[in-house]
Amino acid sequence: SQQGEEDPQALSIQEGENATMNCSYKTSINNLQWYRQNSGRGLVHLILIRSNEREKHSGRLRVTLDTSKKSSSLLITASRAADTASYFCATETSGSRLTFGEGTQLTVNP
Amino acid sequence: DAGITQSPRHKVTETGTPVTLRCHQTENHRYMYWYRQDPGHGLRLIHYSYGVKDTDKGEVSDGYSVSRSKTEDFLLTLESATSSQTSVYFCAISERDRAHEQYFGPGTRLTVT
């Protein structure tokens, strides 16, 4: 079974709007990562947030982590057409393995 | 994708034939991984390596074997391909430990007919 589950499965917005994706997980984690995958390509690492951190920023990306709710969110501000991709959360649990969710498909319309 | 190549990029094979996929890195990273990606399942770990000749099983290892004789190469072998192994296979590497950020190759699309 998947450790991380993204929500929503698909999201369509207009260029310039903000996009928010959520990830829920089941067991305690050491860190949580977000990846992007453009169609037909491999995954690209975006950001890592550790279990003792609550928020992290990287450019137009903002990630929050709420370990009490076992959830994380990825916010992309001022979205661009080039942000169109699938976004995956990945959790690292005991045993140091990454477990990926099924992803959120984001479409940014120009 | 820089520093990681996968070959072949596409392959069509018949049920029962052996298949070997190759992952090659130029980053000298210690950890290497093989994942498969299927609709409805996300990415699932098949096998990983934490050094030359050091490998371990992942979540979906049945029907797959791996070998790592050099730091830069990690081979995934399907001894007798089945239709259920039709998938996109991704190799990834990681520098420090298994749960650090991973860098992915471009993928291999395998179709077993």
> For residue A3, is pLDDT > 80?
no
pLDDT value of residue A1: 43
Between CA B28 and CA A102 the distance in angstroms is: 30
pLDDT value of residue B2: 59
Closest CA to A4 of A106, A104, A105, A99: A99
pLDDT value of residue B42: 85
CB contact under 8 A, A48 and B105: no
Between CA A86 and CA A105 the distance in angstroms is: 4
Q: Is B50 part of the contact surface with chain A (CB cutoff 8 Å)? A: no
pLDDT value of residue A98: 86
pLDDT value of residue A94: 60
Residues from chain A that touch B103, judged by Cβ atoms under 8 A, are: 45
Closest CA to A48 of B14, B5, B51, B102: B102
Q: Which residues of chain B have pLDDT under 70?
A: 1-2, 97-99
